[in-house]
Every structure is written in structure tokens, then in C-alpha cells.
Copies of this chain bind each other. A is one copy, B any other.
Amino acid sequence: MARKRFDDSNCSVARALNQVGDWWSLLIVLHAMYGTRRFVDFQQELGIAKNILCDRLARLVDNGVLKKVEVGEHGSRFEYRLTEKGRDLFPVVIALRQWGDKWNPAPDEAPLDLRDRATGQPVQTIQVRNADGEPITVRDVFVPDASSPGSKKDSV
């Protein structure tokens, strides 16, 4: 049977996963953030099969995460560049990286040291914050119930 798709889910996380939630797409976006733009470079850096890479790039372009740009005057050379939508995945990628560094550290390697160009200092650990800027956890949040505004149901 076909893989299930969530295009029409009423959950925005499911819809997001529909666009970048497969094994390769987020890694492609990550490498695009690294600066990779060419088909062959993605292929070599990721070790992905060419047909799969074609499919994923096309899907990411369809979804507006990447745009395909002709380079080299005579056509037939392309670059895949992040759109604003694609660059906006930065917090997702960083959150995932920090989670991975914390919980599955490479035994022999230091976690990636990512720094701010302006200050030269490492970036902060990404966190969910309340209106006052205080970091909060999943236990600190609720979804106000539209029908009875007083209730504080546990939810994400």
C-alpha cells in the first residue's frame, strides 16, 4: 500500500513533515545551509542515489523550500538554492542538531561549534520561551480551550 501522506492533515506538524519529514529532505536542506548548491555536490556529500536526489530536489522545489536556478550561460547547469521558506527551517535544524549533540554525541568528535558572525561567540542553545523570555518545557504549556477559556488542558 502507498505510504500515507498528510497534506490535508489539520495538524501543522504533520503537514510540515509531509514536506521535509522524510529521511533525506532535511539533510538536503542542512547541506544547502552549509552552502551546497549543485546536484553533484549534494550527491557526493550525502551519498544519496541519483534518482532519489532528483525526486527530493524536485519535491523541495515544488514545496518552495528550494528554488532551481540556471547558471552557466548556455543552460543545462543548475543551482538549487534555499528560499526564505527553506532558510526559515534554520531553527528546526539547529534544534535537531543540539538534541543530537546532547543525546547521541559522537564518541570521538566534538559537537559542531556554531558561532555568530557579528560577535564571534557560540550561538545559544535553542529553547522554547514564554512571553517573558523564560525557557519553558512541555510541562509548562497548555492550549486554551476555546469553549471554556478557563480550562488548562495539557497539550502541544
Contact = CB atoms under 8 A, between A and B. Distances in A.
Interface of A: 3-4, 10-17, 19, 21-23, 26-27, 30, 33-35, 47-48, 64, 82, 85, 87-106, 109, 111-119, 121-124, 126-133, 136-144, 152, 154-156
Lowest 9 CB-CB distances: which A-B pairs, in order? A12-B100, A16-B100, A121-B131, A116-B130, A33-B156, A91-B95, A92-B95, A90-B138, A124-B129
A128 B91 CA distance: 6
A96 B138 contact: no
B117 A12 contact: no
Oligomeric state, in copies = 2
Given A89-B99, A93-B13, A104 B19 contact: yes
Contacts of A91: 91, 95, 98-99, 126-128
A139 to B, nearest CB: 8
- The residue in A12, A118, A132, A141 that gathers the most chain B C-beta atoms within 10 A of its C-beta is A12
A104 B138 CA distance: 23
